[in-house]
């Protein structure tokens, strides 16, 4: 099968790979590049576990072809902590006991990150809206909503 | 969440250092950084992908299978059929002496539910495996199918599973598990009212965000390491050993970090065939359910039908309860005979009733085999029991919560399965619910205790 | 046509462990040279937090902080047998096995400490912070770090223990069904409040108040996780979930999360959780299994609340708008 080159930055570092044409970004990240933080819960765009941030926007990596990402700036949950210090969202998820099996967690954190990047002080409704493309089967969502609200408060206090 | 320490304060142990402390979870930092390793996060060079050819029919005879086109498909490495599986007919609970073996790893001569695995295709890529699977030609002779449990139990119904010989599981007690306590007919005779009602559920999927699957790597020394999200390591290893006729010492299972289970990962389905693929090709193999397979192919919670007949007195006492439960196992047993039996042990619920009659049936139909799920054998029974309790209370004009107090079991009460009640706490839960929900009940109920018959 | 309110109650119990017993779990515990403790198991963590709870149980039993315990589980080359994680058995069965193994290890640890301190092992106690003290004379003490070093390099002792928990299998009597299904039961009572739109049949669960009795909350925050998530799943079962919406008809089954419905983050009931603890006689520190039963009482409570609201009984799960509308129509037709 014809291979196509893809080149992008992942969490700030340059990546270049050859992939089969038609390979999803999810496969490229997990199987080629070795970033397994995006999870494949459905490979059909219905669970949100594969969520990543491409050029500042929330994207489902299972529905994104790797070859369309040339030159893109891609962020995943594995790159969120800086020098071992957790991002406020990660901290808030820990403190709120918002993870059980953890399979949905990287995707949830990506969705929440994009929300907080755009909306400093989101309302509960805005948080709900932001998370509504992500399935969690374990937590009943409330701890996740609380974690995002807490992280938002921490963020805006730091900014103030 | 609030912990109400005033209840049972006399028996609660205090002065512990670690127990009762809200310590942070040691696995959560891995979860929030995406570092936690699930089975599918292992990737091996040269790994093959396994895809199943599945039955499009609910019930059919297989006249022939032609895999020649599929084998020629670019990227295909191996195609497996029933004859490749050393011990193709198995049942999971055989390890605890619950038989007979009644399910094929790959269909042999017959399919009994729509979606049943018939042929396994191993290829270099998922896409090649999928495309090749579509090229497998299976010639079916469609047979009449039965979906309704009552129909299945009628004489002359299509036989779902020949290994049983009839459309129900045969317990040592006969066609159902029985509980007999007191004299239920005498109880109905003395009752002020009798209410018989029927309840029904539909199959429910566990829907974990991580689908069922495994990754198998040959170790080069004749051993195989299987990374899996099974809920039961040795259960899976031992069943794989039987199916593959391979000593257990050749198998190494690694797991324990699972993206949700809820009972859906107790079946032994993906591992044996993936290990077989690895053995026959000498290559690593992954077999991971698609979301569609997880939803429609993996075992759901069984549909159940529960018929409850109660005799109740105007003062609120239930004097007789007869329950007939039907568990829809689908085409194969898996854990359903266990679940139906667990139902028999659970009825008549947390109530003290002097006359009880329970029959629970495990019924075979031509649908996706059902199996364990959170609350196995009990969840649907509780739905039926507790709606019935509500109806009974309204029938005699009593408050539904007070009605439950009248019948609640307490320490020392004899249960229908002839064990004295120990450690009851239903009354206290209801007292606290009465307060929390502002649903007042008479003082005498608030003064009751699970400890004694008192009050 | 109107939005109608109702409330319903349900009370339940639930057995801990595999029905009829006969489900073993084993555990091994050993210390490293510097006094950390390794628990070896083959139990599976499905996300409920089995690893963390086993660490706390081991720590409490040995007398060290939880972060001194490492859990090595679910590798069949190293872990002794566990029947599996199901039937609310993990904490109860594996917890008991860990306690037994940890007690044996603790005894060796105290014996080595006794030799170092030249006292009787029975005169020693742990402070939970990593030290072993002489009872009544706490100034005379030794750290577990030093005890482990001594055991390994000086005294040639293995600070280790074996644990096993098995409830003997019960066989039901054929005719009467006399049997022993379980040794302990968790309990719950739930009150649900709903709104039903009698024009569309749509149900909104406004509040659920859940009271759970679970023996002992070994880690209250983790218990809360289970109970909140379980309560959500119960409501989901009541109103939404099935793979065969027109059972026994096999058609129309959902194949993805768009068709297989569950409440999303915008559909949550206001959820209250109250926990009572009546320690079980044979549970680890009195614990019972809370993981399954917490999803059961909401289903009938919601069903009863729907009746309370609109006066129709939906005795078939799930309680969909379609079923409610059909029942309301039948009711109107008399
Ligand atoms: S894997 Fe992409 S949405 Fe589920
Ligand atoms: S924590 Fe398991 S799916 Fe969200």
Contacts of C96 in chain B (CB under 8 A): none
Task: Mark whether A120 and A74 lie in a shared domain.
Answer: no
Task: Mark whether A68 and A97 lie in a shared domain.
Answer: no
Give the pLDDT band of residue B172 (cuts 50, 70, 90). very high
Enumerate the H helices of B396-442 as residue ranges. Answer: 400-407, 426-436
Contacts of B259 in chain C (CB under 8 A): 47
C-alpha to C-alpha distances, A4 to A141, B75, B124, nearest whole angstrom: 40, 19, 18
Q: Is the dihedral of CA B280, B285, B289, B290 positive or negative?
A: negative
pLDDT in tens, B121-155: 999 999 999 999 999 999 999 999 999 999 999 99
What CA–CA distance (Å, rounded) separates C178 from B84? 44
Alpha carbons within 13 angstroms on the beta-carbon side of residue A27 total 19
pLDDT attached to residue C26: 98
Q: Is the peptide bond before A14 cis (omega within 30 degrees of 0)?
A: no
Give the pLDDT band of residue B454 (cuts 50, 70, 90). very low
Domain that holds residue A42: 3-79
Q: What contacts C8, CB < 8 A, 6 or more positions away? A: B390, B400, C191, C192, C194, C300, C301, C302, C303, C304, C305, C306, C307, C308
pLDDT attached to residue C81: 97
- The domain at C3-16+182-333 falls in which architecture? 2-Layer Sandwich (3.30)
Give the domain C23-167 fold.
Aldehyde Oxidoreductase; domain 4 (3.30.365)
Give the pLDDT band of residue B13 (cuts 50, 70, 90). confident
- In this structure, the number of other CB atoms found within 10 A of the CB of residue B113 comes to 23
3-state secondary structure of B201: coil
Task: Mark whether A93 and A151 lie in a shared domain.
Answer: yes
* CATH code assigned at A37: 3.10.20.30
Q: Are A78 and A37 in contact (CB under 8 A)?
A: yes
pLDDT in tens, B76-109: 999 999 999 999 999 999 988 899 999 999 999 9
Map out the domains of chain B with their CATH numbers. 45-143+207-296 (3.90.1170.50), 177-204+300-446 (3.30.365.10)
Task: Mark whether A126 and A75 lie in a shared domain.
Answer: no
Task: Mark whether A8 and A73 lie in a shared domain.
Answer: yes
Q: Is the CB of A49 under 6 A from ligand 1?
A: yes
Contacts of A147 in chain C (CB under 8 A): none
Q: Are B203 and B303 in contact (CB under 8 A)?
A: yes
What CA–CA distance (Å, rounded) separates A135 from B199? 30
Given a cut of 50, the residues of chain C with pLDDT beneath it are: none
Backbone angles phi, psi at B197, to 5 degrees: -140, 155
Picking from B197, B374, B429, the nearest residue to C213 by CB comes out as: B429
Closest residue in A to C228 (Cα) is: A140
Closest residue in A to B289 (Cα) is: A42
* CATH code assigned at A125: 1.10.150.120
Q: Do domains C3-16+182-333 and C23-167 have the same CATH topology?
A: yes
C-alpha to C-alpha distances, B296 to B291, B332, B374, C222, C259, nearest whole angstrom: 9, 15, 18, 31, 12
Domain finish residue from A79, A104, A136? A79
Q: Is the dihedral of CA A136, A139, A141, A146 positive or negative?
A: negative
Q: Do C299 and B25 touch (CB under 8 A)?
A: no
In chain B, how many H helices and how many E strands? 13, 18
Looking at the CA of C262, name the nearest ligand.
Answer: 2
Ligand 1 centre distance from Cα of residue A41 (Å): 5
Number of compact structural domains in chain A: 2
* Shortest Cα distance, chain C CAs vs residue A125, angstroms: 8
Task: Mark whether A57 and A8 lie in a shared domain.
Answer: yes
3-state secondary structure of B147: coil
Task: Mark whether A35 and A75 lie in a shared domain.
Answer: yes
Pocket test for ligand 2, best of A39, A137, A141, A144 (most atoms within 8 A of CB): A137
Q: Do B291 and A47 touch (CB under 8 A)?
A: yes
pLDDT attached to residue B455: 41
Give the pLDDT band of residue A159 (cuts 50, 70, 90). low
Ligand 2 centre distance from Cα of residue B425 (Å): 31
pTM of the model: 0.97
Contacts of B296 in chain A (CB under 8 A): none
Give the pLDDT band of residue A155 (cuts 50, 70, 90). confident
Give the pLDDT band of residue A2 (cuts 50, 70, 90). confident
Q: Do C271 and A143 touch (CB under 8 A)?
A: no
What CA–CA distance (Å, rounded) separates A53 from C36? 40
Q: Is the CB of A151 under 6 A from ligand 1?
A: no
Residue with tokens 């340059």: A14
- Torsion angle defined by CA atoms of residues C296, C300, C302 and C305, in that order, rounded to the nearest 10 degrees: -150
Q: Are B18 and B93 in contact (CB under 8 A)?
A: no
pLDDT attached to residue A74: 98
Q: What contacts B241, CB < 8 A, 6 or more positions away? A: B247, B248, B250, B251
Domain finish residue from A45, A79, A113? A79
Q: Are C86 and B266 in contact (CB under 8 A)?
A: yes
Task: Mark whether A74 and A92 lie in a shared domain.
Answer: no
Q: Do C74 and B256 touch (CB under 8 A)?
A: yes
The predicted model gives B411-433 an average pLDDT of 97
Pocket test for ligand 2, best of B257, B258, B260, B294 (most atoms within 8 A of CB): B260
Q: Is the CB of A60 under 6 A from ligand 1?
A: yes
Identify from C53, C265, C292 which residue to disrupt to test chain A contact, counting A C-beta atoms within 10 A and taking the largest count: C265
C-alpha to C-alpha distances, B291 to B298, C27, C119, nearest whole angstrom: 10, 35, 63
Contacts of A22 in chain B (CB under 8 A): 127
Domain borders along chain C are 3-16+182-333, 23-167
Q: Is the peptide bond before C213 cis (omega within 30 degrees of 0)?
A: no
Here the contacts of B148-155 (C-beta below 8 Å, separation 24 or greater) are B148/B365, B148/C248, B149/B303, B149/B305, B149/B326, B149/B328, B149/B361, B149/B363, B149/B365, B149/C248, B150/B305, B152/B363, B152/B364, B152/B365, B153/B361, B153/B363
Ligand 1 centre distance from Cα of residue A38 (Å): 9
Q: Print burial letters for C318-333: b (CB count within 10 Å at least 16), e (below 16).
A: bbbeebbbebbeeeee
Alpha carbons within 13 angstroms on the beta-carbon side of residue B78 total 21
Helix (H), strand (E), coil (C) string for chain A: CCEEEEEEEECCEEEEEEEECCCEHHHHHHHHHCCCCCCCCCCCCCCCCCEEEECCEEEEHHHCEHHHHCCCEEECHHHCCECCECCHHHHHHHHCCCCCCCCCHHHHHHHHHHHHHHCCCCCHHHHHHHHCCCCCCCCCCHHHHHHHHHHHHHHHHHHC
Q: Do C59 and B17 touch (CB under 8 A)?
A: yes
Contacts of C301 in chain B (CB under 8 A): 386
- In this structure, the number of other CB atoms found within 10 A of the CB of residue B72 comes to 10
Ligand 2 centre distance from Cα of residue A97 (Å): 11
pLDDT attached to residue A1: 67
pLDDT attached to residue A160: 55
User: From atom 2 of ligand 2, which residue's Cα is the shortest distance away?
Assistant: A101
pLDDT in tens, B222-257: 999 999 999 999 999 999 999 999 999 999 999 999
Picking from B27, B200, B433, the nearest residue to C211 by CB comes out as: B433
Task: Mark whether A64 and A95 lie in a shared domain.
Answer: no
Identify from A99, A103, A135, A146 which residue to disrupt to test chain B contact, counting B C-beta atoms within 10 A and taking the largest count: A103
Q: Is the peptide bond before B100 cis (omega within 30 degrees of 0)?
A: yes
Looking at the CA of A133, name the nearest ligand.
Answer: 1
Q: Is the CB of A42 under 6 A from ligand 1?
A: yes
Residue with tokens 């929330």: A58
Q: Chain C window 216-255: which residues touch A at a Cβ cutoff of 8 Å?
A: 221-222, 224-226, 228-233
**Ligand 2 nearest atom to the CA of residue A138, by list position:** 2
Give the pLDDT band of residue A156 (cuts 50, 70, 90). confident
Picking from C225, C258, C262, the nearest residue to A139 by CB comes out as: C225
pLDDT attached to residue C334: 82
- In this structure, the number of other CB atoms found within 10 A of the CB of residue B206 comes to 25
Q: Is the CB of A65 under 6 A from ligand 1?
A: no
């Amino acid at each position: 099968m014809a291979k196509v080159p893809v080149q992008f930055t992942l969490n700030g570092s340059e990546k270049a790979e050859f992939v089969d044409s038609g390979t999803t970004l999810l496969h490229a990240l997990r199987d080629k590049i070795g970033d397994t933080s995006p999870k494949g819960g459905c490979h059909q765009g219905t669970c949100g576990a594969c969520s990543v941030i491409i050029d500042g926007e929330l994207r489902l990596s299972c529905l994104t072809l790797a070859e369309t990402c040339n030159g893109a700036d891609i962020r995943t949950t594995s790159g969120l902590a800086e020098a071992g210090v957790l991002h406020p969202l990660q901290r808030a998820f820990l403190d709120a006991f918002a993870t059980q099996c953890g399979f949905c967690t990287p995707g949830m954190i990506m969705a929440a990150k994009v929300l907080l990047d755009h909306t400093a002080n989101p309302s509960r409704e805005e948080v709900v809206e932001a998370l509504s493309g992500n399935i969690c089967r374990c937590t009943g969502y409330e701890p996740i909503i609380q974690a995002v609200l807490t992280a938002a408060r921490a963020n805006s206090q730091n900014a103030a | 969440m609030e912990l109400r320490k005033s209840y049972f304060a006399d028996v609660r142990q205090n002065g512990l250092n670690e127990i009762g402390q809200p310590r942070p979870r040691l696995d959560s930092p891995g979860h929030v950084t995406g570092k936690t390793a699930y089975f599918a996060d292992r990737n091996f060079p040269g790994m093959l992908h396994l895809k199943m050819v599945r039955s499009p029919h609910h019930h059919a005879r297989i006249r022939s299978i032609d895999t020649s086109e599929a084998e020629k498909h670019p990227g295909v490495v191996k195609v497996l059929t029933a004859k490749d599986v050393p011990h193709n007919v198995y049942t999971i609970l055989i390890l605890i002496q619950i038989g007979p073996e009644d399910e094929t790893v790959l269909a042999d001569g017959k399919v009994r539910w729509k979606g049943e695995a018939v042929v396994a295709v191993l290829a270099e890529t998922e896409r090649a495996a999928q495309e090749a699977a579509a090229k497998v030609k299976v010639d079916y002779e469609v047979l009449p199918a039965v979906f309704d449990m009552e129909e299945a139990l009628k004489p002359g119904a299509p036989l779902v599973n020949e290994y049983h010989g009839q459309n129900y599981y045969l317990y040592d007690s006969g066609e159902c598990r029985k509980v007999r306590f007191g004299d239920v007919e005498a109880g109905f005779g003395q009752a002020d009212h009798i209410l018989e009602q029927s309840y029904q559920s539909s199959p429910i999927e566990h829907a974990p965000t991580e689908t069922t699957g495994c990754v198998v790597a040959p170790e080069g020394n004749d051993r195989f390491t299987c990374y899996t999200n099974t809920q039961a390591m040795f259960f899976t290893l031992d069943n794989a050993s039987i199916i593959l006729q391979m000593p257990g010492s050749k198998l190494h299972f690694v797991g324990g970090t699972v993206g949700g289970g809820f009972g859906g990962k107790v079946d032994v389905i993906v591992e044996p065939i993936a290990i077989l693929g690895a053995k026959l090709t000498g290559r690593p193999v992954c077999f991971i359910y698609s979301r569609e397979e997880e939803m429609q192919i993996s075992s759901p919670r069984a549909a159940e039908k529960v018929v409850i007949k109660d005799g109740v007195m105007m003062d609120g006492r239930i004097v007789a309860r007869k329950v007939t439960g039907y568990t829809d196992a689908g085409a194969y047993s898996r854990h359903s005979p266990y679940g139906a039996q667990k139902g028999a042990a659970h009825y008549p619920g947390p109530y003290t009733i002097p006359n009880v009659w329970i029959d629970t049936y495990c019924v075979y139909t031509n649908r996706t085999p059902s199996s364990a799920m959170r609350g196995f054998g009990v969840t649907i029974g509780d739905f039926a029991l507790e709606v019935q309790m509500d109806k009974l209370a309204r029938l005699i004009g009593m408050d539904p919560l007070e009605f439950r107090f009248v019948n609640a079991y307490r320490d020392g009460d004899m249960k229908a399965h002839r064990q004295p009640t120990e450690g009851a706490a239903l009354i206290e839960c209801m007292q606290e619910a009465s307060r929390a929900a502002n649903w007042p009940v008479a003082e005498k109920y608030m003064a009751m205790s699970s400890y004694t018959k008192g009050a | 046509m109107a939005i109608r309110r109702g409330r319903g109650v349900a009370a339940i119990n639930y057995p801990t462990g595999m029905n009829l017993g006969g489900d073993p779990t084993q555990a091994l515990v050993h210390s490293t040279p510097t006094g950390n403790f390794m628990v070896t198991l083959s139990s599976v963590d499905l996300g409920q937090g089995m690893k963390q709870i086993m660490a706390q149980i081991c720590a409490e039993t040995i007398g060290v902080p939880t972060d001194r315990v490492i859990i090595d589980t679910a590798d069949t080359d190293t872990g002794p047998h566990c029947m599996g994680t199901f039937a609310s058995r993990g904490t109860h069965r594996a917890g008991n096995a860990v306690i037994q193994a940890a007690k044996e290890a603790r005894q060796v640890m105290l014996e080595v400490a006794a030799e170092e301190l030249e006292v009787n092992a029975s005169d020693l106690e742990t402070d939970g912070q990593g030290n072993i003290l002489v009872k009544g004379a706490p100034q005379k003490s030794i750290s577990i770090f030093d005890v482990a070093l001594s055991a390994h390099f000086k005294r040639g002792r293995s600070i280790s223990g074996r644990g096993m928990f098995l409830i003997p299998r019960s066989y039901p009597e054929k005719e009467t069904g006399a049997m022993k299904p379980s040794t302990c039961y968790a309990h719950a009572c739930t009150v649900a409040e709903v709104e039903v739109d009698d024009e569309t049949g749509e149900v909104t669960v406004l509040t659920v108040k859940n009271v759970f009795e679970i023996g002992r909350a070994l880690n209250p925050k983790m218990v809360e996780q289970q109970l909140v998530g379980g309560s959500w799943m119960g409501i989901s079962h009541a109103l939404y979930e099935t793979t065969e919406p027109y059972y026994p008809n096999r058609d129309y089954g959902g194949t993805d999360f768009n068709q297989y419905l569950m409440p999303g983050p915008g559909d949550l009931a206001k959820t209250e959780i109250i926990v009572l603890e009546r320690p079980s006689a044979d549970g680890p520190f009195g614990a019972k299994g809370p993981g399954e039963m917490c999803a059961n009482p909401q289903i009938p409570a919601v069903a009863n609340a729907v009746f309370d609201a609109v006066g129709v009984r939906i005795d078939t799960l799930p309680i969909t708008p379609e079923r409610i509308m059909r029942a309301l129509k039948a009711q109107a037709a008399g």
